[in-house]
Chains A and B, each alone.
Chain A
Amino acid sequence: MNKDRMMRGVGAALKWVFLLTLIAFTLYPVIYALLGSLKSNYELTLGGHLFPEVWKFENYMDAFTRGRFGLYTFNSLMVAGLVSLLSLVTSSMAGYVFARRQFRGKGFIMSLYMAFMFISLGSVTIYPLFVLFSRMKLTKTIIAMALVMTGGQASNVFLVTGFIKSVPKELDEAAFIDGCTPFQVFIIMILPMIRSILAVVLLFSFRSAWNDYITPLIMTIGNAKLRTLTVAVVQLKYSSNAAAEWQIMLAGASIALIPVLILYIFTHKQFISGLLSGAVKA
């Protein structure tokens, strides 16, 4: 009995050592970035202390004034906002059509969507789009970037499709018989029922647009003014004073991280449950 209890105690201790190590491993880089952004460059390269000796909030001022981070934050917000909006509207309607409507070509289109989820030519695909949008004079605005990031939304479409399929058909079919058009049915009956999955689509597409690096990097290569936060932050690595200004790099990184971290604190349940529902469907 005693031995048993001791074993259990050791087990629990091991479990907590494991979990706490993992938590430390997960949080350390983030904390390093957040606290490091408040240190002087000298203190940063000297290393050793977790908390700043002198709290240098002016690093952020520097990032915003010299590094034009205000502009980049604005760009990121715009792009992520536009992408979320576009994905929300287009993928919810497509998801509804796939889940409820029968029409010629549906099977083909769905398998095409499915196939393109698994085929990846990597960053090759951005180049023809860049050239195309550049001819259309759209690369001078963030619209081209947002369109490329929105893309086909295959995974979001299937997320919505799966969710609608799990909702009982009777309600919207009844509305249909009453003479509503499919679009009316979608607006009146379906949308209110699928709000929770739309929140997930919104969060996922906001996150992916906010965090995307390769697409904005290529799409803004000739227009530094359109850079998003991620691109601007990583470009600091190549900037004139990169080697001497780690604090600015970390301030930039923190500016890119803090908004999603705050969003995450309030919505982590949706993030995880969204992923769970996606995973279960898969």
Chain B
Amino acid sequence: MKNHKMLSALLAALMLISACLFTVPAMAEDVTEITVWTKDRHDQDLLLSIVDQFNKENPDIHINYEQYTDNYPQVIEIASSAGELPDIFCINNTPMITQAYQRGQLAALDSLITDEDKARFDASLFIEGINMFDGQIYSLPNTGLTLRLVYNQDIFERVGLSGPPKSIDEMVADAKLITEQLGGEGVYGFALPLANPQSGFQRGFNQFPLIDGYPVFEGFDYRQGKYDFTVYKPYVLALADIWNSGAAFPGCESLNIDPLRTQFAAGKIGMYMTYSHSEWGVYMDQFPTDQRWQYAQIPSTSGEIVGSQSLSAGYWYVINSATKDLEKTWRVYSAIYSQENLIKYYEAGYGVSVVPSVIAAATAPSAIAAVPYMGIQPTDKIWPVAPQNVVPEGDNWGARFAEVVFGYNNDIDGIIADLNERYQAAYLQSIEDGFNTQIQYPNLAANDLTNTMN
């Protein structure tokens, strides 16, 4: 009997729930919802305030600002294949914008952007294959992004080091020294977020050949016009040395960037490499720290910068070509990109602006005063576009190099041969499928990127 009563009660509850289901209050008709997706967290304080202000001032529009994180590319990929992309979304990297363009998902901004607006952004910042395709503009620039070594000054001083390592050998030696002297307190010399090895290695490791003067970007050799990972051998072995000697922070193989940052903020990590734009905001707002830290140049083999680092700039947000109300979407888009907001963004230290009018109008951000290497250096350059979305069958280069770094596989030559073969095959396949072209710049030099004649 008791059973039956409970069952009826449950049933009644279910009925009630399903009744609610069909009376969920709908959004008022005259308010257009504009959805904005981002991958960024370090700038959330500013962006959320922009959104709030906009929503208050524009009763006919409601911005729905969604933050994603490490899984952002996955989210974009699935949403895009199901036709569920938001009105405005943030671009992670060049492959993402290229792919979205090739799939016809981007709205060209040429007809929307005013001449006055266009003048704010320097003509040199509109680059074919970055934010322009077939002569049309699809995204606007904000900040430039490159890579830096991040180090804890307190830890370096405690072990008697006067400054950050300039050469890769010094980096290895410093890592060992720190762990040797402070390992007992749980302080380790070096860390990389290698839970996803590829993205971990994209935080600095991929710059080693470029800095040393080899025009090879993530395996693609611009001069040969094909994939060739041979130049990476010494860099992989240098990292392997750090791990073999036990100088690296334990558990890097399952470490993501944010847990790494909390450990750095707690003074447990001597140095790591990551993007140049984010750590200031991270250690100010996200994981406040009393540790003294600095950005430094990514080390090179000789200690000198022979070539140049890659600077990524030119895109930030894009507009979905399928947006319902392009006019209103553009209003949101241009509000995010307003001169006032770009200046705030730069001044607050969320990134280093590449827009000349913004740099001219802004008072120099305290961030760059405090951590000077956050600023863009003469040796940070925008590289020509490499092949995009070359996905080989099987493990990617990051996963294979990580095998050597962690000491699970010592056959670096075999791994390089395997990568060369699979990446080149995937590249040729992508050319055949029509979403890549054969790229080759026989005379390109890593310190002078102007020579991109075929």
A contact residues vs B (CB 8 Å cutoff): 77-78, 81-82, 84-85, 88, 130-131, 134-135, 139, 142, 195-196, 198-199, 202, 218, 221-225, 238-244, 266-267, 270
Q: Known contacts A134-B84, A222-B78, A240-B258: does B287 contact A81 (CB below 8 Å)?
A: no
Q: What is the CB-to-nearest-CB distance from A243 to chain B, in angstroms, rounded to a whole number?
A: 4
Apart from A81-B18, A84-B14, 16 more pairs, CB < 8 Å: A82-B17, A82-B18, A85-B18, A134-B82, A139-B84, A142-B21, A195-B7, A196-B3, A199-B6, A199-B10, A221-B84, A224-B66, A225-B64, A238-B70, A241-B258, A244-B262
In the complex, are the beta carbons of B85 and A240 less than 8 A apart? no
Interface flag for B119 (CB, 8 Å): no
A55 to B317, CA, bound (A): 43
B contact residues vs A (CB 8 Å cutoff): 3-4, 6-7, 10-11, 13-15, 17-18, 20-21, 41, 44, 64, 66-67, 69-71, 74-75, 78-79, 81-86, 256, 258-259, 261-262, 286-287
Main secondary structure of the interface of B (DSSP, over half): helix
28 contacts between A and B (CB under 8 A): A81-B13, A81-B17, A81-B18, A81-B21, A82-B21, A84-B14, A85-B15, A88-B11, A131-B81, A134-B82, A134-B83, A139-B84, A195-B4, A202-B10, A222-B75, A222-B78, A222-B79, A222-B84, A225-B64, A238-B71, A240-B67, A242-B258, A242-B259, A243-B256, A243-B258, A243-B259, A243-B287, A267-B6
In the complex, are the beta carbons of B85 and A222 less than 8 A apart? yes
Q: Which B residues touch A142, using CB under 8 A?
A: 21
- Please indicate which of the listed interface residues B11, B13, B261 has the most CB atoms of chain A within 10 Å of its own CB: B11
A78 to B81, CA, bound (A): 27
In the complex, are the beta carbons of B44 and A240 less than 8 A apart? yes
A238 to B181, CA, bound (A): 34
Q: Known contacts A85-B14, A202-B10, A238-B71: does B79 contact A221 (CB below 8 Å)?
A: yes
In the complex, are the beta carbons of B21 and A240 less than 8 A apart? no
In the complex, are the beta carbons of A199 and B82 less than 8 A apart? no
In the complex, are the beta carbons of A139 and B14 less than 8 A apart? no
Q: Please give me the residue from chain A that is nearest to B16 by CB atom.
A: A81
In the complex, are the beta carbons of A130 and B286 less than 8 A apart? no
Q: What is the CB-to-nearest-CB distance from A149 to chain B, in angstroms, rounded to a whole number?
A: 14
Q: Please give me the residue from chain A that is nearest to B74 by CB atom.
A: A221
A220 to B4, CA, bound (A): 36
Q: Known contacts A84-B14, A243-B287: does B82 contact A222 (CB below 8 Å)?
A: yes
Q: Which A residues touch B81, using CB under 8 A?
A: 131
In the complex, are the beta carbons of B71 and A195 less than 8 A apart? no
Q: Please give me the residue from chain B that is nearest to A133 by CB atom.
A: B82
Q: Which B residues touch A221, using CB under 8 A?
A: 74-75, 78-79, 84
In the complex, are the beta carbons of B4 and A77 less than 8 A apart? no
Q: Which B residues touch A196, using CB under 8 A?
A: 3
Q: Which A residues touch B64, using CB under 8 A?
A: 225
In the complex, are the beta carbons of A266 and B258 less than 8 A apart? no
A85 to B3, CA, bound (A): 18
Q: Known contacts A81-B14, A241-B286, A266-B6: does B259 contact A130 (CB below 8 Å)?
A: no
A266 to B69, CA, bound (A): 39
In the complex, are the beta carbons of A240 and B17 less than 8 A apart? no
| In-complex Cβ contact of B41 among A81, A218, A240 (8 A) | A240
A241 to B281, CA, bound (A): 13
Q: Which A residues touch B69, using CB under 8 A?
A: 238-240, 242
Q: Which B residues touch A243, using CB under 8 A?
A: 256, 258-259, 261-262, 287
Q: Which B residues touch A225, using CB under 8 A?
A: 64
Q: Which A residues touch B83, using CB under 8 A?
A: 134-135
A134 to B67, CA, bound (A): 22
A2 to B71, CA, bound (A): 66
Q: Please give me the residue from chain B that is nearest to A78 by CB atom.
A: B21
| In-complex Cβ contact of A130 among B13, B20, B82, B287 (8 A) | B82
- In order of increasing CB-CB distance, the 7 nearest A-B pairs are A222-B84, A81-B17, A240-B41, A243-B258, A243-B259, A222-B79, A243-B262
In the complex, are the beta carbons of A202 and B262 less than 8 A apart? no
Q: Please give me the residue from chain A that is nearest to B263 by CB atom.
A: A243
Q: Which A residues touch B44, using CB under 8 A?
A: 240
In the complex, are the beta carbons of B18 and A244 less than 8 A apart? no
Q: Please give me the residue from chain A that is nearest to B261 by CB atom.
A: A243
Q: Which B residues touch A139, using CB under 8 A?
A: 82, 84
Q: Which A residues touch B10, using CB under 8 A?
A: 199, 202
Q: Which B residues touch A82, using CB under 8 A?
A: 17-18, 21
A241 to B69, CA, bound (A): 10
Q: What is the CB-to-nearest-CB distance from A250 to chain B, in angstroms, rounded to a whole number?
A: 16
A223 to B256, CA, bound (A): 25
In the complex, are the beta carbons of B7 and A198 less than 8 A apart? yes
A11 to B319, CA, bound (A): 72
A266 to B3, CA, bound (A): 10
| In-complex Cβ contact of B78 among A202, A218, A224 (8 A) | A218
A134 to B86, CA, bound (A): 14
A131 to B84, CA, bound (A): 10
Q: Which B residues touch A85, using CB under 8 A?
A: 14-15, 18
Q: Please give me the residue from chain B that is nearest to A222 by CB atom.
A: B84
Q: Please give me the residue from chain B that is nearest to A223 by CB atom.
A: B84
A224 to B68, CA, bound (A): 10
Q: Which A residues touch B11, using CB under 8 A?
A: 88, 202
- Please indicate which of the listed interface residues B69, B75, B82, B85 has the most CB atoms of chain A within 10 Å of its own CB: B82
A130 to B44, CA, bound (A): 31
In the complex, are the beta carbons of A78 and B262 less than 8 A apart? no
A266 to B84, CA, bound (A): 42
Q: What is the CB-to-nearest-CB distance from B83 to chain A, in angstroms, rounded to a whole number?
A: 6
Q: Known contacts A78-B20, A198-B7: does B287 contact A244 (CB below 8 Å)?
A: yes
Q: What is the CB-to-nearest-CB distance from B26 to chain A, in angstroms, rounded to a whole number?
A: 11
In the complex, are the beta carbons of A199 and B3 less than 8 A apart? yes
Q: Please give me the residue from chain B that is nearest to A142 by CB atom.
A: B21
